[in-house]
């Protein structure tokens, strides 16, 4: 059994027991969360597709960690114009362990 969920404008394929890394959501480590933006649920031969989301389905999970990703460097320049800009960015993320899928 697996489901397609949407969070922070991105879609993820999850099944029970999976660990996923999503953009940061509020919550503490060990806290239970519900993801209600379920787009599709597949259980063997039964496939339920939402239009655009399934109202009765939800995915539950547990927050297993919060953190920051590695730094990326954003460097802009224009040749021969002495224009250079350097900027760094570290995206915050949340690790979630999927504990169940309900339809």
What's the average pLDDT block by block, 10 residues per block, for the chain (103 residues)? Answer: 96 97 96 96 93 94 97 98 98 97 92
Distance CA 61, CA 16 (A): 9
- The pLDDT value recorded for residue 28 is 96
- The pLDDT value recorded for residue 16 is 96
- The pLDDT value recorded for residue 101 is 95
Instruction: Collect all residues with Cβ–Cβ distance below 8 Å to 57 and sequence separation of at least 6.
Output: 3, 38, 41, 48, 50, 101, 102, 103
Residues 63-79 have pLDDT tens digits of 999 999 999 999 999 99
Helix (H, G, I), strand (E, B) or coil at 32: strand
- The pLDDT value recorded for residue 26 is 95
Instruction: Collect all residues with Cβ–Cβ distance below 8 Å to 42 and sequence separation of at least 6.
Output: 1, 2, 3, 48
Name the DSSP class of 45. T
């Amino acid at each position: 059994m697996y489901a397609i969920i949407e969070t922070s404008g991105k879609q993820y394929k999850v099944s029970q027991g999976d660990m996923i890394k999503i953009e940061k959501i509020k919550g503490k480590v060990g806290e239970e969360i519900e993801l209600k933006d379920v787009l599709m649920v597949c259980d063997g031969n039964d496939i339920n597709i939402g239009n655009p989301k399934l109202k009765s389905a939800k995915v539950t999970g547990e927050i297993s960690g919060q953190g920051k990703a590695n730094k990326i460097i954003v460097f802009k320049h224009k040749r021969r114009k002495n224009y250079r800009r350097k900027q760094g960015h570290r995206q915050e993320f949340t690790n979630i362990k999927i504990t169940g899928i309900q339809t």
